Amino acid sequence: MVSLQDVKHRIQQDFIPTFMAECLYWPFIQGVNFWKVPVKHQLLVVNTACLADSTFLSWWEAEDASCLHKHLSMLISGIACSTEIPCTWC
């Protein structure tokens, strides 16, 4: 059985950075889609964006979680990269 502490840790480590990335991605995509793309091509843009998003989420899950999540969280928060956790991104 999963403890409440495990759930809290998983939410902080996985859900929040992923949700923040999604909140940056989709409003931008939809804004450009409705502003610049003709109506007959909007579905194609959304489908392509969904494919890119699904690819990103799959890659996100397959990568080293601690390093990748740390760097994306820092990027979203506007914090400069530090080498506290050595990884391929530093």
The domain limits of the chain are 4-77
* Nearest of 7, 5, 6, 15 to residue 69 by alpha carbon: 15
The more confidently predicted of residues 42 and 73 is 42
- pLDDT beyond 80 at 89: no
Average pLDDT over the chain reads: 82
Q: Would you say how long the chain is, in residues?
A: 90
Per-residue CA distances from 39 to 28, 32, 35, 36, 73 (Å): 17, 12, 10, 9, 35
Over residues 54-64, the pLDDT tens digits come to: 998 888 777 65
